[in-house]
Amino acid sequence: MNHRAIISGTGHYTPEHVLTNADLERMIDTSDEWIVTRTGIHERRIRSKDEATSDFIVAAARCALEQAGKTTAEIDAIIVGTVTPDYKLPSTASVVQRKLDIPKAAIVDIAAACAGFIYGLAMGQSFVESGMYRNVLVAGAETLSSITNYQDRNTCVLFGDGCGCAVVTRGENGEKENGTGILAAHISGDGRLGDLLNMPIGGSKVPLTPENYEQRGHLLHMDGREVFKYAVREMADSCVQAMEKAGVGIEDIDMIIPHQANIRIIEALVKKLKANRDKVFINIQNYGNTSAASVPIALDEARRAGKVTKGMTVLMTAFGGGFTWGSAVVRF
Ligand code: ACO
């Protein structure tokens, strides 16, 4: 490792429109009581018709760049974690580059579902540590409302839209010596379990046609109960691996920022890690599950609220479709 990678800035954006549990009660057979007790979600944000995933990233990236004190000209690579790209081609990272007028950069989308931001962070860290790049913009961004089946009560109450960004930068001010920066990241997956959370129609295997449209297989399908089990197990295991790699224990962690998929998953994770519940950042009540955007929105909210400050060690973890999962330990 030649260089230390640090997070020099974060930002987030969520759309204005709020979809409450009361709104959902009017749309499907559900209740505020069921949603709150089973998931912890009270409301979620939904994009306006003219907002695409790239628009969220542009807004969040501007905040992150400002905090990092970086200009767009300094960005060497843009990594976007999303399962809701603007288009299949070009990549959303390509659209973001054009909209932010970033002169030259490597541009790539990664489809790692809810773990997309952690995957991006791990890639950004590697690019910076290897000396390949100085500044990498990592985004986790979703317009999940565009792939949600609002006739399926098992899934539609869970998802929301939003974006979070981080600027991963080569440390130049002795970060390696004072032990700050991205201390470790761990990413993994299990493709054998891909069918438990998928969109079976609309790709090259089964293209979307007028005949299969009504099956709604081009929208998100999830076996929630199965996903739940794996989510707790793999996130806990991944947290332990990242902490071991970073040389820290759970007692050294000042704040845990978990993927906000379900309050019961978060609580089970906290129990498994034997962590202190007061050191867990939770905003699921306001946004629901925003997939790749979930961890970076929470990270930026925690930092801007003064709950993550200089010198603190943060553990981030996520789990999503694929299955994919990952964790990162960062000292700010
Ligand atoms: N309102 C009322 N009742 C409902 C609703 C609803 N919105 N949804 C389901 N139910 C009913 C079911 O039909 C079922 O009824 P039945 O017993 O008569 O069949 C009952 O409630 C219980 O359903 P379960 O699915 O067992 O409910 P569970 O407690 O498992 O909660 C949930 C479901 C919230 C989906 C949970 O399993 C979960 O959070 N799973 C994990 C999701 C996750 O972590 N995803 C991560 C990745 S997402 C991504 O990558 C995009």
* Domain match, 151 and 192 both: no
Q: Whose CA is nearest to atom 46 of ligand 1?
A: 320
Q: What is the 3-state secondary structure (H, E, C) of the chain?
A: CCCCEEEEEEEEECCCEEEEHHHHHHHCCCCHHHHHHHHCCCEEEECCCCCCHHHHHHHHHHHHHHHHCCCHHHCCEEEEECCCCCCCCCCHHHHHHHHHCCCCCEEEEECCHHHHHHHHHHHHHHHHHCCCCCEEEEEEEEEHHHCCCCCCHHHHCCECEEEEEEEEEECCCCHHHHCCEEEEEEEEECHHHHHHEECCCCCCCCCCCCCCHHHCCCCCEECHHHHHHHHHHHHHHHHHHHHHHHCCCHHHCCEEEECCCCHHHHHHHHHHHCCCHHHECCCHHHHCECHHHHHHHHHHHHHHCCCCCCCCEEEEEEEECCCEEEEEEEEC
Q: Whose CA is nearest to atom 11 of ligand 1?
A: 154
Residues touching ligand 1 (Cβ under 6 Å) are: 30, 34-35, 38-39, 113-114, 153-154, 157, 197, 224-225, 227-228, 231, 261-262, 265, 289, 291, 319-321
User: Residue 200's domain is classified under what CATH number?
Assistant: 3.40.47.10
* Domain match, 38 and 138 both: yes
Taking only the tens place, the pLDDT of each residue in 37-65 is: 999 999 999 999 999 999 999 999 999 99
CA 228 / ligand 1 centre spacing (Å): 9
* Domain match, 202 and 141 both: no
The predicted structure's pLDDT at residue 175: 82
The predicted structure's pLDDT at residue 321: 97
CA 224 / ligand 1 centre spacing (Å): 5
* Domain match, 167 and 18 both: yes
* Domain match, 223 and 265 both: yes
Q: Tell me which of 157, 227, 230, 319 to substitute to probe ligand 1's pocket, judged by most ligand atoms within 8 Å of the beta carbon.
A: 227
Structural domain count, the chain: 2
Structural domain including 307 reads 179-331
Q: Whose CA is nearest to atom 48 of ligand 1?
A: 320
**Parts of the chain with a pLDDT under 70:** 1
Taking only the tens place, the pLDDT of each residue in 226-281 is: 999 999 999 999 999 999 999 999 999 999 999 999 999 999 999 999 999 999 99
pTM reported for the whole predicted model: 0.97
Domain end marker among 152, 177, 202: 177
* Domain match, 9 and 154 both: yes
CA 39 / ligand 1 centre spacing (Å): 8
The predicted structure's pLDDT at residue 178: 83
* Domain match, 169 and 185 both: no
* Domain match, 81 and 106 both: yes
